[in-house]
Amino acid sequence: MGIDKFNQWLLESDGEGKTVAVAQVAQLKDDNWDAAIEKLEVSDGVRLYLTTAKVHRDVTVTPRADVSGWLGSHFTVEGELTLKLPGNPAPEIDIDPQHGVAFRAIDDWAEFRLPEGQTIRHIAWSADWIVMARLLGGDIPEELGRLFGAAADTTPHWPLRTTTLLRKLGWRLFRSPLTGPLRRLETEGALLEIAAHHIGQMVRRSPREDDGTDSRLSRHERQRLTRARHRLIADMRQPPSLSEIATEAGMGERRLNAGFRELFGMTAFEMLRNERLEHARQVLETEDIPLKVVAHRVGYRHVTNFINAFTQRYGTPPKRYLRELADGQETTAAEDGGHLEAADRSRSPEQ
């Protein structure tokens, strides 16, 4: 999918009055990146975008909007990127697992730069003024009212703090085993909770006002920690020790783990465990191989340890997870077939 078609896809409305429309996924793959972007229309006007991208080279993306005056909010649970806004004096705004941003668009574009050599999991939601008023039941906070009621020559923005709770909500959206209607219900609930937290932060301070929660990590430290993460999960069967990656990063082990917690929301060990289990989940869904082989592939010597870790992470053992996934797919297929059959019956002979 080219950028022009991608922008057209972004602008298309899927809601048609539904609570949550069926998700659509755009696949973008070239020499620069391999990305999947899931789009959902929520509450007839609120949109959610979930992006997973493996960035091979620096990429700059400028998605277009169909109207100005909407509110957009962005954060990541993995990886970092920068944002450039039209008419904004700030040269670039950093977005990473500690720091998000919300802005009121005065133009129809925003420029995102994705640095090479990382995996990015990015969450964005947007809504225009009318939809925001409806979501808040007409009780518009004074800060937002002044913002949307005034003309602006620059793009107002708020720095947001991505809390542990927001990161957990984000990871849940990316790693949910649910499908069909249950997936859509889960997505709507998570989005409304994310929006509530972001709006709550915005109304407690003015646009562009720093809340004093800036990361203690410098840009150089964040880059070293990102490289350390890549090194940690490059070979999950034989990963380096904490001491090895700390030495390569030029940090002590305690500082490395503290940096991992601040940048990624988890320790190095938790990062490795989660990546192992996520890879295992994907293998189970796509390949028909024994659990023992899957466990060995992601670095577990004993299949029992793998089963226990998988159950703790996803709430169900691997085999039951696959049965529930298959049952959900069969149910969705049956529902789709029923809808098609009903539609055929509703047509008149002349049609």
Q: What is the DSSP string of 217-282?
A: S-HHHHHHHHHHHHHHHS-SSSPPPHHHHHHHHTS-HHHHHHHHHHHHSS-HHHHHHHHHHHHHHH
Residues of the chain with pLDDT under 70: 1-23, 43-44, 64-69, 87-91, 105-109, 129, 133-155, 203-216, 328-351
The pLDDT of residue 68: 53
Q: Return the CATH number of the domain spanning residue range 3-203.
A: 2.60.120.10
The pLDDT of residue 200: 79
The pLDDT of residue 144: 65
Domain pair 3-203 / 269-343, same fold:
no
| CATH class (in words) of the domain with range 269-343 | mainly alpha
Q: Measured at the alpha carbon of residue 270, what is the angle toward residues 214 and 194, in degrees to the nearest 5?
A: 50
Helix locations, 53-209, DSSP H: 129-135, 142-149, 164-175, 180-203
The pLDDT of residue 43: 65
Domain ranges in the chain are 3-203, 218-265, 269-343
The pLDDT of residue 16: 44
DSSP 8-state code for residue 22: P
